[in-house]
Amino acid sequence: MIKPVGADELKPLFVYDSDKHDALMHEAESLPSVLISSSAAGNAVMMGGGYFTPLSGFMNLADAMGAAERMTLSDGSFFPVPVLNLVADASSIQGASRIALRDPNVEGHPVIAVQDVVAIEEASDEQMAIMTEKTFRTSDPEHPGVAAFNGQGRFAISGPIQVLNFSYFMTDFPDTFRTAVEIRNEIIEHGWKKVVAFQTRNPMHLAHEELCHIAMERTGADGLVIHMLLGKLKPGDIPAPVRDASIRKMVELYFPPNSAMVTGYGFDMLYAGPREAVLHAYFRQNMGATHFIIGRDHAGVGDYYGAFDAQTIFDEEVPEGALEIEIFRADHTAWSKKLDKVVMMCEAPDHTKDDFVLLSGTKVREMLGNGIAPPKEFSRPEVAQILIDYYQNL
């Protein structure tokens, strides 16, 4: 099985030993505490599940700057984005050696992790600007990732963490949320040797479904892990429960038994385009996938990134040998009227735009809202019905 990034085995930071867990929960109640950002809580969940192996906790500013500028930490290890615990006010924990991190996304703000405080550093305007520009390729405050990153505060609390729960993901998505540890175990149980991973924050239409089939066939994969983002999205994106239901229906009806897993992970979308594509590949290697599909404008938003920037970054910026996972590079896929099937548009050079069934997101939402299913060449009818029910109940 493919090794995790920079390690021989996963290093999940969740405290699984029940006695140690109980002791930490008891200790946490007496520790100084801080309410962390939604982004930091998502990072804690990902570290708890092993996705950020081999990180032991939140980065200091030197490591965060290295990740942003070079994708390399101070010790020479690879990591593609800063992973910071940024807060607006650290006065309540000054001088503390251990603190409790409280979850902003669960009622009552329970403790999500305990952190050893190695340092509390105030990021300068210049450091915040560099990390923003390098990670997101823009400093536009209208970019949702830029706004979220810069809205957390300037005080970076660094140090190792011990994770005590998986926030709302385990309770809200019990059938879908999986740690990297769990996915690796399920891959072993299936007996899969080559595994394709597919990232989504949207429902999967016919083109997405067929892209997964194409990738599996061309890589000789035994299995597919559909890995959906369950954390916070931008306004207007379809909620995770609706996406989950539509994707499960698609897999049930249109994939052979035991060939595809529907899973999800607890992380807030960055919308960082190329850098987030690298982070997504990092996650997927750690969860055991050997191949990862990256298509047009992967993890992008608006017009901030070129159509294939999320693919070329692996050639131009990722340090050689940093990742073992192989990238399956995909173009936009659509139904060809000439060939009567879904194809990657770059592989149909004799086609014009009119030869494909293409619908804008706005048009699709309008149709669904009016109770009209998109054509069968665009969406499976069973999937469309789930989305129609959602839009008509808004």
Tokens in use for 62?
């030197």
**What's the average model confidence in pLDDT over 6-10?**
96
pLDDT in the model for residue 301: 92
pLDDT in tens, 134-156: 999 999 999 999 999 999 999 99
For the cut 90, the answer to whether the pLDDT of residue 316 exceeds it is: yes
Fold assignment, 18-170: Sulfate adenylyltransferase (3.10.400)
* pLDDT interval class at 186 (50, 70, 90): very high
What Å distances lie between residue 370 and 236, 249, 360, CA to CA?
Answer: 17, 22, 16
Indicate whether 233 pLDDT > 90. no
What's the token pair of residue 9? 């085995």
Read off the amino acid at residue 132: T
What superfamily in CATH does domain 175-392 come from? HUPs (3.40.50.620)
CA distance 305 to 147: 17
State mean pLDDT over 330-345: 94
Report the alpha-carbon distance of residue 279 to residue 294 in Å, rounded: 12
Q: Which residues are catalytic, by number?
A: 201-202
- Residue ranges of domains in the chain: 18-170, 175-392
| Residue 22 CA, distance from chain mean position | 30
Q: What is the pLDDT of residue 362?
A: 84
Task: Report residue 311 as tokens.
Answer: 């693919």
Indicate whether 388 pLDDT > 90: yes
Residue closest to 233 by CA, chosen among 264, 275, 257: 264
pLDDT at 235: 73
Cβ neighbors of 320 (< 8 A, separation 6 or more) are none
The pLDDT value recorded for residue 153 is 97
Residue whose token pair is 């249109």: 254
Reduced to 3 states (helix: H, G, I; strand: E, B; else coil), residue 324 is coil
Query: What percent of the chain lies above the pLDDT cut of 70?
Result: 100
Task: Quick: pLDDT tens for 212-229.
Answer: 999 999 999 999 999 999
